[in-house]
A and B are shown apart, each in its own frame.
Chain A
C-alpha cells in the first residue's frame, strides 16, 4: 500500500498497512473509539512525515524526553521522535522487526546493555530508513542510554544537534533554567531549518497541547471507575500519544476519543473485562509493546484490569500558561520536567517515583502493583529495593519481574504470564478472600 500515493521503503509500508488494516478492523466495532482514534493518528503521523519530506519541508528529530511543541512553533517544520518507527512497528506493524534492527545495531558495535529502543533507533538509522533531518533537538533525559544513542545518531547522520540539560530537580528554579535553554534553542532551530519561529504559532500549539491535556485529565478520572470501563491496552499507548502528538490537533482528537469512549461505556454500565473484573493493578515501569494482546490475555484469563499505568496520570500538570512568551517557555519546561514519560520519574530522587506509584494505587483502588522492570532501565530498577519497602509498608503487594519492553527474547510472554498468574493465585487472591 503506497503512502501518499508513493512507494516508500518497505519497513514504512508495513507500518502503514498495519494501521490501515487495524482501522478497518476497529471501525467495524463502534465501541473501539479510543483504539480506532490512536491508530488513525499513527497513520496520519506517517502521512505527515512523508508529506514533509515530499514537500521539502524540514524535519527535526527529537527524543522521547523532548515534547515537540517548540519545534511546532516553526512554520511547516515536522517533528519526528527517534523512537517512532520502532514503536509503530511494535504496535501496528511487525513486532519481530525490532529484533532485526536491534541486531543490526549490536552488529555495528552498540553495547548489548544499551536500551533496546535506542539500539533499535541506531539500527534504523544504519539502514537509512528515517527521512533526513535538518537538525536534532534533544533532552538529556530520560537516561544515559538515550544520551549515548543520540550522540551516535548525530555522528551517523552528521547533522547538528542541540541537547537540553534537564536538571535533577523539578522546582521553579529548574523550570526557569530549562525555559532559558528553550529560548536559546530557537535561533538554533531557525538557523538549521531556515524557518522563522512564530510566537503566535507557538501559542496555538501550546493551546492545542492544553486541550489534549484537559481531555486526558478527564479520561484519567473516568478510568478510576469500578469496574474499569475501557480495555487495559489503551493505557499502554499514553506515552506514544504524548511524545508524538503533543501540540498536534490529532493529539486532541485521540484524547477526546479516549475520554468519550470511557464516558459512554460508564453510561452503559460496561466493564473492560467480559464477565466482570476481579482484580485491579497499577502497571508500573514500562508497557509490553511487543504484544498488546498481552493486556487482552490478562483481562480474559485472569479477570485483571490495568486502570492506569506509570506514564499516563500527570496530564493535569501539563497545562501551559499561554499569556506571554516567557510563561509558555516555562510551561513547556514544567511539562518536560514533571510530565513527559520517564523524564518525570527517572531523572530525580526516587521518592517522587515511589510516591506516584503509591498515589496511583490508592486513587485507582488497585489490589496490587506490577513493576515491569525493563532490563536496561537502571534508573528504574535501581530503586526496586526501596519500592518493595514502600509497598510493604503501605500493605500493597508488588509483583516485580524483569523483561524488555521491545525485545521478547529477554523474557517471553509465557514467562510473564506465569509470573502474574502465580502472584494472583498466591498473594492477591488469598488477601482478597481474607478481606
Chain B
C-alpha cells in the first residue's frame, strides 16, 4: 500500500514537473508568437499563436527527439515579412493568402530535402563551433531585440536589426524609455534571478518573474491608470478559436506573385532546416542523447505543409525555447506537447487574464533567455584552438552583422574550410630515412607531403615511406605512392600489419592498370612476361 502510494506520489510529482515546465514554455512562447507575427511577419497575432500551438504539437508528434521545440521563429517570421512586403500591404487579405502560400511552398521544398537524401545530408556540414557561435550570436540578438519592448518604446525596426541599431535602442531605452516599463522589466528580471538561485524553485523562476512583473504592472495601473502608465500589454485574444481553417492562395491572377515568392520560399525552407538541424544536434548533445536529423527534416516539412491550412506561420526549431527546455531539465515530448495544449487552453479560457501581462515583463524573460545562451563553458573550448576560434567568432559575428541565414552560410563555409585545412596538413615527420605520414594522403595534402619528400630526397638518401597511420588515401595519393615506389628512390612500408601495404600494392597495381600499362594495343590483357618487359621499359629512361 505504501509502495503504491509512493509510486503514485512520484508519478504525480513527475506530472507536476511536466505541468510547470509546459506552462512556463507556453507562457514564454505566447509573447514571442504575438510579437513575431505582428512586428516581423506583418500578419495578425493568431498566425503566430497557431504556429505556437499546432506547429509545436505536430513537431512533438512527428519528431522523436525529446528536446525539440518547434513553433514560430524570429528569422523565419522576418523572412516572411521581407518576402511579402514588396508584393502586398501587410495585414491585408491578399498578403495573408500569400503568406500561407509561402509557408506551403517552404514545406514542399523542405520535403524535397527529406526525399533527396544527399540534399538533406548537406545540412550536416555545420560544425559545433558554428552552432555555438550562432547560439551566442542569437543570445545577444534576443537581448538587443527585446530592448525596445523592455523600455516600453515602439519597435524601431521593421525587419532588419544590425548591431548599431541595437545600440541606438539601448541608448533610447536609457534616455526616453517609459520609466514604468523599465521598472516592470527590472522587477521581472530581479525576481527571476533570485528565484533561480533556489534549487527547488528553479523551474518556477520564469513564472514567478512574469507574476511579479504583472502584479507590479497592475499596481501601477490601479494607482496611475493605464492612460498614464502607457505600459503595453499582450491584449485581447478572446477571438481566437482552437483552429481556423484556411487555404493558401493559388489563383490564376496571383500566379505572378506566387512565382515572385519562390526564391523567398527557398530561403525560408533553408533558414528553417539549417536552424532545426543545428539546434537539434546541439541540444541533443547537450542532453547527452542523439537525434536523427532526417526525422527532424521530415517533421519540419510535414508540419510546414500542414500549417498553412490552419492559418499559421511556418515553424522550425527554436534555439531559445529548446535552451529553456534544457535549462528546466525535463527532456520529454510529453512536456512539449503539453505546452502546446496548455497554450491553447490558456488562450481559450484565460484570455482576459493573459491580456494584462505586460510586454516589458515578456521582453525581460526573453532577455534572460538570451543571457543564458551566452555561457562561458560553451565558448571556452572553441577559444583554446586558434582555427576553431576563427570559425566560432566568424559565425558569432555573422549573426551580429549579417543575419541568421548569412551566419549559417558563413559558418558552413568556415567549417568546411577548417576541416579541409586540417585534412590538407597531415603530420609528416622524417626520422632517419623514414618518412612517416600521419593523416590523409590526398590531392590537398600532397603538396605538403611532396615538399618534405623532395627535401629529403635532395639529401641523396633512399627513403622509406611509412603510411601506416594514414587515415585515407585518394586515387591521386595512390598514384603518387606508386610513382614514388617506381622511381626506385623510396620503399613503402607498413610496420604494423602489412595489410595496408598489400592494399596499397594492389591499389597501386590497379592504378597502373587503369593507366593502361598492362593492356596490349589490341585491348586484350597482357601476359606476365609482356607486363614485366613493359614495366622495365617504363623504369629505364629512353635514350
Mutual binders A and B: no
A residues whose Cβ falls under 8 Å from a Cβ of B: none
